[in-house]
Amino acid sequence: MSATTRRYFLTTTTGAGLAGILATGIPPARGQQREISYLCWNNFAPLMDKKLAEIGQRFTKDTGIKLRIDHIAAAQQAAKYASEVQSQAGHDLVEMRMHFPWLYEGQLIDLGDVVAELEKKYGKVLSSAAETARVHGTWRAVPQYHAMFVATYREDLFKKAGLKIPDT
């Protein structure tokens, strides 16, 4: 009996695998329901969560890819992110706030191509949003929305500290 060579083994197993695919007419990846998982916070406006579910259903209908949306309370986000990074498993898409792209820079892919495409279509990202999503010159997040916060201050504390009250 002759020894089995690697070439013989690969030829035989590849042929058997192809025979199975040809017999069913369905490639393995297409035979399974594709799914994207999305982790986001419970919105303070419950109708927003409902609207997001509707958008997810429309995405599934348009693409054939199931979108699984998991909501968590904002207070649980930091622990959940840390858990997913530590286990190297978790959601495909994650909604992050402000500093998280900086904190998890090494775990996030470059999304510059996505941001560039969106900027062509909708215009330049606000600089304050870019500061949170672009880490060391690389887009690690895609700004979903961003609000400009007006600075507030207590006049009494400014006066007590001898500081001039802003005139702008």
pLDDT of residue 54: 96
Q: Residue 76: which residues within 8 A CB-CB, separation 6 or more?
A: none
pTM of the predicted model, to two decimals? 0.66
3-state secondary structure 67-119: EEEEEECHHHHHHHHHHHHHHCCCCCEECCCCCHHHHCHHHCCCCHHHHHHHH
pLDDT tens track, the chain, 168 positions: 566 665 555 555 555 555 555 555 555 566 678 999 999 989 888 899 999 999 999 999 999 999 999 999 989 999 999 999 999 999 999 998 888 999 999 999 999 999 999 999 999 998 888 998 999 999 999 988 766 666 777 888 989 999 887 776
Q: Residue 129: which residues within 8 A CB-CB, separation 6 or more?
A: 143, 146
pLDDT of residue 24: 56
